[in-house]
Amino acid sequence: MLTTYDTPDQRNLLDRTGQGIIGAPLDRPDGPLKVAGQAPYAAEYDLVGCAEGVLVGAAISKGSIAAIHRDEVLAMPGVLLVLSDKAMLRRPAQGGAAQAPAQDVRQIDYHGQPVALVVAETFEQATAAAKALRIDYDDQSGSGRFDPDALDFAPGEEPTVLGDIDEAMSKAAHRVDETYRTEGHASAAMEPHAAIAQWDGDDLTLWGSLQMVAPNVKELADSLRIPDARVRIVAPYVGGGFGSKLGISHEGVAAALAALELQRPVRVTLSRQQVFETVNRRSETRQRVRLGADAGGRLLALGHEAWISNLPAEDFAEPVTQATQFLYGGDNRYLAVLKGEITRLTAGSVRAPGEAVGMQVLESVMDELAHKIGIDPIELRKRNLPARLPGQDLPYSSRKLFEAMDEGGAAFGWSKRKPKPCMTRDGEWWVGMGMASAARVNMMQPASAQVRLEADGRVIVETDQTDIGTGSYAILGQIAGEMLGCPMDRVEVRLGDSRFPAGAGSGGSWAASSTGSAVFRACESIRIELAGRLRIDSEALELSGGIARGAGKEAPVTRLLAGAPLERIGRIKPGKTADNYAQASYGAFFCEAGVNAFTGEVRVRRMLGAFGFGRVLNAKTARSQCLGGMVWGIGGALSEELQFDPRDGRLMNHDLAEYHIPVNRDVPPIEVLLLEERDAAASPIQAKGAGELGICGTGGAIANAIFNACGVRPRHFPITPDKLLAQLPDPFAEIAS
């Protein structure tokens, strides 16, 4: 079977298998294990003789280590080793790197960077010794760059230029040209980064908290200068990642080096503060958006420029304009991302890199334009959905944006929105409504999976695909159960072990559609074999309740198996469908927010998201992903902000007390509408990415609701009270009617 995906698979086989399993809102099989503490996370394996390692962070922002006073801490109780090695990681690997990131911790790139590992018999001993370790530095912090507004910026990649935007802006009947800001974000996954390393001769086993096992094996092997085949990674349960575990980070390599040195297992767990300070961040952004429209509200000019930052020699540049490329029309375009080098921890992928902050701003500016023209924000968007991809003349594979706005708006009660600000007051609160489009590129990644039909009819799925709380166990099992006519209690899914075929990993919303397609293909291969044994055409094969039938023939599957299991590996990788279609998931957000007329506090009162991301593989996990994304959207809009000391770039709010993710009370009733859709260009299971869409525009809907409520247009996220106070109308003024 071909592995590349070159032509849309229009058969929609999963609509014809008739088991009622695919799409059903089934529980995650790992759920009960997790709440009962029976799903071990990386640090929770009990290995005999395991020593405990604690990383030490740099007390300077830039420079090198002059001396480490090892002997003092080696004399402390239980201390076994102080490691400050050229192989230890200075920075985490970027997602999909598949090679070692910057190594040698004796050079210091940012404040708090791991510079040493202290290993002791107990965690408490290691912690105390790590705190006591004295290090002398050659301090060059004075040459650091700490102000994100004062960097030397250069294009991250070639800007997109179409037509003449300046001329188009000058001719536009309506124009908006505004600069917005967003502050940096942390992934803040529930499970801190952790690893246990154990050597058996030249073979390393690493229990890790990781999102992409196959490239992680290469990153780890390359860092240790050993062959890939010598590394096994085990990560069956991962307590969230949101991009921060796409690549390996400091703890895995440090644990492996220490375990080799000590010839015993070593565990390294990052503290919550170290996760914040050393793994990765979403860059702060400054974004200038220019929109120019004709008298009828059609875009003539579309400009989106972003200024972002990263450490020197990091290629990753927050792809802020990613959705702007394909979402709206406008013949004259200028889109660019400019990167400046800064002395802060590594910037990398945090849930929905690009769209999370790019859509938030673009959708705010669209609202500004709609207000200027005096038309409904939905109407403005509808007038600007291009028929084909601007600049490249490609068709859209499928796009449910129109439907999401209409059906979402109807369900939300959008028609009750007041056309002007300051028209609804509820006690101390101004109340308003806002909406925004949702858009996130769709990506398929190479993936493989093995499916085994056991002689007794049970089904086993094996792939190194991870489940980071997203539902991989449930979804991959459902695809196999649906395809092979096997009830879910007879399907077992085994994940997160590099001994299994390489899945796509968890990132970029691609896990379910990519690895799901690999499972689908393995199952299809099994179906063809079974049809052959039944001597019928596979198109006619029906599998249900352990019986194979078709073309008038019928036999129990176990008889066709004749006592031997049937095993197939399915593979897929992106092909021509990726080049020939503009692929993305779409939706619309609706938000009702209150702004306190006195204090400027903002509280979201209710929210609705309507989404189309192809086939829904599991209605419960899909809905949960959308809900989680929208909760992230609330955080990004209203409270999440990395605070760096302006003098040395150290991260000051490095824990969950000071980095304010939303609490339960900040999250109002949220409704999710999943739109029926099949996208055959995206994958043979007609599914697209779902995991990140819920955050791609949410903040715009919230900001637009704030404007509709109180008439203040916030252009700096997060929208904390201080940014609204100065412009709020007199709280005692009579309410306009």
Partner 1 sequence: MRAFDYARATEAAEAVGSDARLLAGGTNLLDLMKLEVETPARVLDINRTGLDRIEADGEGLRIGALVSNSACAADARVRADWPLLAQAILAGASPQLRNKATMAGNLCQRTRCQYFMRTDTRCNKREPGSGCDALEGVNRNHAILGASEACIATYPGDMAVALAALDAWVEIDSPSGRRSVALREFHRLPNGIAHRDNVLEPGEIITAITLPAPVRGRQIYRKVRERSSYAFALVSVALVLRMDAGRIAAAQLAFGGLAHKPWTDSRVAEALLGQKPSPALFDKAADLLLSGAQGQGENDFKIPLARRTLAAVLHDATKE
Nearer to partner 1, 181 or 620 (CB): 181
Which of 103, 127, 538, 580 forms a contact with partner 1 (CB under 8 A)?
A: 127
Which of 598, 676, 727, 736 forms a contact with partner 1 (CB under 8 A)?
A: 598
Q: Stretches 224-232, 304-312, 499-507, 661-669: which one binds partner 1 (CB under 8 A)?
A: 661-669
Do 174 and 200 form a contact (C-beta atoms < 8 A)?
Answer: no
Is 692 a residue of the active site?
yes
Q: Check binding of 6 to partner 1 (CB under 8 A).
A: no
Q: How far apart are CA 587 and CA 613, in angstroms?
A: 8
| Pairing mode, strands 425-426 and 266-269 | unpaired
Applying CB under 8 A, the site for partner 1 has a residue count of 38
Q: Check binding of 645 to partner 1 (CB under 8 A).
A: yes
- Retrieve residue 298's tokens: 């059609």
| Cα–Cα nearest to 253, from 264, 243, 242, 266 | 266
Q: Decide: residue 219, CB within 10 A, 0-12 exposed, 13-18 middle, 19+ buried.
A: buried
Nearer to partner 1, 415 or 664 (CB): 664
Q: Check binding of 12 to partner 1 (CB under 8 A).
A: no
Residues between 40 and 59 with contacts to partner 1, criterion CB under 8 A: 59
Q: Check binding of 731 to partner 1 (CB under 8 A).
A: yes
Q: Check binding of 552 to partner 1 (CB under 8 A).
A: no
Q: Check binding of 726 to partner 1 (CB under 8 A).
A: yes
Which sign does the torsion angle of CA 108, 109, 111, 117 carry?
Answer: negative
Q: Stretches 43-51, 307-315, 369-377, 596-604: which one binds partner 1 (CB under 8 A)?
A: 596-604
Q: Check binding of 78 to partner 1 (CB under 8 A).
A: no
* Least distance CB 702 / partner 1 (angstroms): 13
Q: H or E stretch including 595?
A: strand 584-596
Backbone angles phi, psi at 89, to 5 degrees: -85, 135
Residues between 693 and 722 with contacts to partner 1, criterion CB under 8 A: 718, 720-722
Do 107 and 64 form a contact (C-beta atoms < 8 A)?
Answer: yes
Q: Is the peptide bond before 718 cis (omega within 30 degrees of 0)?
A: yes
Q: Check binding of 160 to partner 1 (CB under 8 A).
A: no
Which of 665, 669, 734, 737 forms a contact with partner 1 (CB under 8 A)?
A: 665
Q: Rounded to 10 degrees, what is the CA torsion of 310, 314, 318, 322?
A: 150
Q: Check binding of 666 to partner 1 (CB under 8 A).
A: yes
**Cα–chain center distance at 461:** 24
Which of 11, 69, 131, 388 forms a contact with partner 1 (CB under 8 A)?
A: 131
Q: Stretches 114-122, 123-131, 242-250, 704-712: which one binds partner 1 (CB under 8 A)?
A: 123-131
Q: Check binding of 639 to partner 1 (CB under 8 A).
A: yes
Please identify which of the residues 44, 454, 692, 734 carries the catalytic annotation.
692
Do 585 and 442 form a contact (C-beta atoms < 8 A)?
Answer: yes
Q: Check binding of 532 to partner 1 (CB under 8 A).
A: no
* Least distance CB 732 / partner 1 (angstroms): 5
Nearer to partner 1, 344 or 568 (CB): 344
Do 350 and 186 form a contact (C-beta atoms < 8 A)?
Answer: yes
* Least distance CB 63 / partner 1 (angstroms): 15
The answer for residues whose C-beta is within 8 angstroms of residue 344's C-beta and 6 or more apart is 110, 146, 281, 309, 311, 644, 649, 651
Q: Check binding of 360 to partner 1 (CB under 8 A).
A: no
Buried b / exposed e across 415-450, counting CB within 10 Å, b at 16+?
eebeeebbbbbeeebbbbbbbbbbbbbbbbbbbbbb
**Cα–chain center distance at 165:** 32
Which of 20, 37, 225, 732 forms a contact with partner 1 (CB under 8 A)?
A: 732
Give contact residues for partner 1 (rule: CB under 8 A).
59, 124, 127-128, 131, 428, 596, 598-603, 638-639, 643-647, 652-653, 657-658, 660, 662-666, 718, 720-722, 725-726, 731-732
Active site members = 692
